[in-house]
């Protein structure tokens, strides 16, 4: 186990979302570091990826949860996404489905769905742990 507490995010490659997501994850979970797995339009990728790409994502996540001991993962979609240019409603639906998929991969890990809105503020739209 590494020093420090890790969390994980599966998010867009878009540079505008990285800082807000990092800040939100640090503010809401007691993490020191955020392992960041990026794909263009990550919320869509989780639903439409080929089996090979899904397997790669699963393995990346596994590095974070085993080597780094991460126990919380966020699935992120955002406003004005070039990799996934769909309506906000579709994004929210995809994020919620993506949260369920990742939770099926590893039910010991809390998975939250985050929407980064037009003001680059983060809203939580799904959570596998009821508060
Ligand atoms: Zn994007």
* 6 CA → ligand 1 middle, Å: 23
Could you tell me the two tokens for 104?
Answer: 């099926």
Quick count: other Cβ atoms within 10 Å of Cβ 64? 23
131 residues of the chain, pLDDT tens digit each:
567 999 999 999 999 999 999 999 999 999 999 999 999 999 999 999 999 999 999 999 999 999 999 999 999 999 999 999 999 999 999 999 999 999 999 999 999 999 999 999 999 999 999 76
Laid out side by side, the sheet with 72-78 consists of 33-38, 6-11, 72-78, 110-116, 122-127
CA dihedral 77, 39, 18, 97 (to 10 degrees): 30
CA angle 1, 31, 67 (to 5 degrees): 25
Q: 2 CA to middle of ligand 1, Å?
A: 30
- Measured CA to CA, the distance from residue 102 to residue 32 in angstroms comes to 22
What's the pLDDT at 10? 98
CA of residue 70 to ligand 1 center, whole Å: 24
């Amino acid at each position: 186990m590494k020093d420090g507490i890790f969390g994980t995010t599966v998010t867009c490659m878009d540079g505008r979302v990285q800082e807000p997501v990092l800040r939100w994850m640090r503010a809401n979970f007691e993490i020191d570091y955020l392992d960041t797995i990026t794909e263009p339009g990550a919320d869509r990728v989780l639903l439409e990826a080929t089996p090979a790409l899904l397997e790669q994502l699963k393995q990346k996540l596994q590095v974070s949860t085993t080597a780094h001991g991460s126990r919380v993962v966020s699935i992120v979609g955002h406003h004005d996404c070039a990799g996934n240019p769909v309506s906000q409603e579709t994004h929210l639906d995809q994020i919620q489905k993506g949260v369920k998929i990742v939770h099926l991969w590893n039910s010991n890990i809390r998975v939250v769905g985050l929407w980064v809105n037009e003001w680059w503020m983060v809203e939580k739209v799904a959570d596998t742990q009821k508060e």
